[in-house]
Amino acid sequence: MREESEPKRLKGTGVRYAYETLRDEILSLDLQPGAVLDETSLAERFSMSRSPVREALIRLAGDDLVVTLSNRSTVVAPIDVQSFPKYVEALDVAQRMNTRLAAELRTDLDLKTIARRQREFVAAVHKGEHLAMSEANKAFHMSIAHAGRNPYLAAFYERLLNQGRRMLHLHFAYLEQGNEEVLLTDEHDEMLAAIRDRDVARADALAHAHTRQFRDNFITYMTQNYLKDASFVTLGPAA
């Protein structure tokens, strides 16, 4: 019999709890790429049946965070370094287009929202919490995308940002090695200023430079820590 002091989960909250817990552990790399996620073990861990665990894993698969192998076992999705050049090309295009549109179409309310998201990001950086930093970073860039008034581009951009959050976690780790948190926040401040000034060309250039900085730092981190030889795409200058 359940102890009276133990809170009962409302219907559906078990799925959300398992999903959010596993998602955070995957994004923060506490669960490493390739780690096996066994339904029975997870059900025991979360004190629930296998059904909500299975549904949580299905949701994680929809986020491209887990994959089901041919033997029907579920593992944490690998970070596909070989596909990184194509990924960063797409991210560069989406980031530049959304930032350009924001500079052209933003409203005063949009500016307030972007500025608030930047303050939240700065606060997360000062605390040094990588998961909070990646969440706040995504919120900042999506506030820019929403200011661009193109839901199709915004949706594409959001999917790319979601797919890159584990790589961003490694990027933050690299920046911490050189104590470059100020650079990270300054880039956001400059993007906000360009959007505020409706300077479309500068917003485009800053968005491109922001992607390039992420790319270069990620490559450097991976090369120093995991790879002996890495050949990646070279982004050209901003148009």
Choose among 139, 140, 136, 115: nearest CA to 127.
Answer: 136
pLDDT, residue 148, reads: 98
**Could you write out the DSSP letters of every residue in 96-158?**
HHHHHHHHHH--HHHHHHHHHHHHHHHHHHHHT-HHHHHHHHHHHHHHHHHHTT-HHHHHHHH
Q: Is the pLDDT at 210 greater than 50, yes or no?
A: yes
Q: What is the domain class of 13-76 according to CATH?
A: mainly alpha
For residues 40 and 6, the model is more confident at 40
User: What kind and span of H or E run contains 74?
Assistant: strand 74-76
CA 175 to CA 164: how far, in whole Å? 16
Q: Judge: domain 81-225, CATH 1.20.120.530.
A: yes
Domain boundaries, the chain: 13-76, 81-225
* Residue 178, pLDDT score: 61
Q: pLDDT digits over 120-152, tens only?
A: 999 998 888 888 999 999 999 999 999 999 999
Q: What are phi and psi of 76, to 5 degrees?
A: -65, 130
Mean per-residue pLDDT of the chain: 87
